[in-house]
Structure 1
Amino acid sequence: MGERRAMVLLLPGQGAQHLRMAAGLYGAEPVFTAAMDEVFDTVEAYAQGEGERLRADWLTDRPAVDLDCVTRSQPLLFAVDHALGRLVVSWGSRPDVLLGHSIGELAAAVLARIFTLRDATRLVLDRIRLLADGPTGGMLAVAASVREVEPFLAGDVVVGAVNAPRQTVLAGPDPALELTHKALTEHEFTCRRLPSLSPFHSPVLAPAVAGSERAIAALPVSPAALTMHSCYTARPLTAREAGDPGYWAAQPVAPVLFWPALDAVLTGRDAVLVEAGPGQTLAQLARRHPAVRAGTSVVVPLLPARPGPPERDRDSVAAARESLAEHGIIGARTR
């Protein structure tokens, strides 16, 4: 029998959100439910009524506030990623590496015990308070390399994420982003607007988040209990970076280097890549990696690729748990 593959937890970010994401697990999976309630209770403690409104918008098909709005997408993605990570850990295995995309990296920081859940939730609330007054815009996924899209960058439109060799995300304010979209389409590039009402990972957000370092500096930071790989440096997160308020404050502005980070994680290591978040965006990207195509590493998403009835969430998690047991990541479930 070969060596155990490493377990790498992938935590998705902005753009992965959808109505009732992972809601089928609420009330059915005690660990997940408790972790979600802890976030809602913390939000409620900081902003009376907001925790209950956030929970209500998550659990309904008709939220009062659009889930693509920063005040919903960011805290709910953070909460769902963290709760799913806690669920996986409860099955009896510690992740060898945490790799979070965008807001997913903050959920990873809680799982790694760099921040407490309460402090990280406070950080998220401060961030969305600042971003809510920032410029509107969005993100555009383009099936092309960075080099191919560079000639089309204009009007504050920048590369916001490198998700794969031919999957680049552009970010910027409207109408500049829409003009870039039109130009790329005219040149026969395949493009898709991502669900976001803010130009995440674009310098145009820098003025909005200016001053956030002060709030972050007031939060206690602990040494990481688990290895985190940064999607902003494509390297393991260092103790210096973890303790630097500027590192966390820059996240909404800095580009996400998911593919270079994933490539570094899989260099010299066979892994089971577990996507702990809504949808299967990161799983689909990871399946393009040569190590996965060769079969030395495998991908196990926790949730379905598309929204569906509550039982689909539960069935998908049950199947993922069985798959992790088959790969020797966790013990077989006793019945």
Structure 2
Amino acid sequence: MVVRGHQDVRPVGVCPDGPHVLRVSAADPDSCLATAGTLAAVIRSGESPAVADIAHTLRQGRDDRAYRLATVGTSPGELAAGLEGVGEHTVEGWHKPGSETLLMMPGQGSDLLPTARALYGWETVFTSALDRLWTSARTIAPSLPDLSTALAPTAADDAAADLALAHCLHTAVLLALTEQLTARGLRVDRLVGYSLGEYAAAAAADVISEEDALRLVLGRVGILRDAPAGAMIAVRLPSDAVAKLVPEDLATCAVTLGTGRSVMSLAAAALERVTSLLADAGVPHRVLEPALPYHSSLLAGAASAFAPIADAVPVRPGSARLVTTAAGRDSLGAGYWSAHLAGPPT
């Protein structure tokens, strides 16, 4: 295998200091490991190109074969060790023909602030992206704080009380993380978002613009300020068991998280009664932070008010990368985001 320098045509933001992903492939394991060993020897020789250039060449200049090995590291020695199979961050295996990489974007229940603080100012791609996105957000909503304030350790308390700050920052961080992963070599075939995360997924899939994703999120917050108070409860029960235990007039199953795990939405007035029923039945449960009954008919009025705002956002045609989650809707269009707000995701 010959590795040589290349004309630097990388986009601005590629970090030469690492960490870097080196990925090699071949038709079978023996050939792949032989290639990896040869590359490790080149790196150890001290006469190889910079590891940033090697990573770029492997990422852009070769077609992937059926058997693959990848390692992550910063120094030449660390990367060479990984290629030789003794690195801490090395994986290898067969690629399944026809398989795709699905990037899943979480909803507001995932606290992304610690991740954002750790990456901001350290990873150039993430930092540049978040700066750009937050500038756009503050253009739409000038009352938002500056980014340093939004990322400060005290921001968690502010975000809990300020939906605009929490939801907008969540969306911006997801989009910046996607850019960072792409710059590190992740090839995303399809994207899906859970609840609030779907706005970022739609923008990352290029179905709507980043600015429109932020505008939608902020418009949604404006509607939700006048929505009826409610609650969501995570329950360690499947949805059918939830329906048997809790009367439908008290709560409905809004989200199925997996086998044996569900989330219920309910009105604020029903919270004490429902938690009592769950406690009496010995069912593990947790009241979630948002004091709103997302993905339920209790937000039907808010969804109707949101529809004109959401339907005004242009949808870019031709992208099949976004996996939609609003029940019964396989593409973004009129009524999608209002159905997404007041209906259960699939």
TM (norm. structure 1) is 0.68
Question: Equivalent residue of 2:342, what SS?
Answer: coil
Matching residue of 2:309: 215
Question: How many Å separate the matches in 2 of 1:210 and 1:146?
Answer: 27
Question: How many Å separate the matches in 1 of 2:237 and 2:156?
Answer: 34
Matching residue of 2:263: 169
| Equivalent AA in structure 1 for residue 280 of structure 2 | E
Partner residue of 1:93 out of 186, 192, 198: 186
Partner residue of 2:218 out of 110, 115, 125: 125
Higher relative contact order (CA 8 A, sep 6+): 1
| Equivalent AA in structure 1 for residue 293 of structure 2 | P
Deviation, structure 1 residue 249: 2.0
Question: How many Å separate the matches in 1 of 2:113 and 2:184?
Answer: 27
Question: How many Å separate the matches in 1 of 2:129 and 2:338?
Answer: 25
The answer (yes or no) to whether the contact 2:116–2:151 under 8 Å persists in 1 is: no
In the alignment of these two chains, the number of paired residues is 251
The answer (yes or no) to whether the contact 1:20–1:61 under 8 Å persists in 2 is: no
Question: Equivalent residue of 1:251, what SS?
Answer: helix
Cα gap change, 1:108 to 1:22, in 2 (>3 Å) = same
TM (norm. structure 2) is 0.66
Matching residue of 2:228: 135
RMSD: 2.3
Matching residue of 2:338: 249
Aligned residues with identical type, % of pairs: 29
Cα gap change, 1:75 to 1:166, in 2 (>3 Å) = same
Matching residue of 1:187: 281
The answer (yes or no) to whether the contact 1:68–1:195 under 8 Å persists in 2 is: no
Question: Equivalent residue of 1:17, what SS?
Answer: coil
Cα gap change, 1:114 to 1:21, in 2 (>3 Å) = same
Unaligned runs of 5+ in 2: 1-66, 68-93
| Equivalent AA in structure 2 for residue 34 of structure 1 | S
Partner residue of 1:30 out of 109, 117, 124: 124
The answer (yes or no) to whether the contact 1:75–1:125 under 8 Å persists in 2 is: yes
Question: How many Å separate the matches in 1 of 2:250 and 2:115?
Answer: 32
| Equivalent AA in structure 2 for residue 22 of structure 1 | A
Q: State whether structure 2 residue 287 is matched by structure 1 residue 198.
A: no
Whose radius of gyration is greater, 1 or 2? 2
| Equivalent AA in structure 1 for residue 172 of structure 2 | A
Spell out the pairing of 1:1-335 with structure 2 (5 A cutoff).
1=67, 2-4=94-96, 6-17=100-111, 20-52=114-146, 56-63=149-156, 65-67=158-160, 69-151=162-244, 152-225=246-319, 227-233=321-327, 238=330, 241-242=331-332, 244-257=333-346
Deviation, structure 1 residue 141: 0.6
Greater mean alpha carbon deviation, residues 75-84 or residues 55-64: 55-64
Deviation, structure 1 residue 65: 2.4
Cα gap change, 1:170 to 1:55, in 2 (>3 Å) = farther
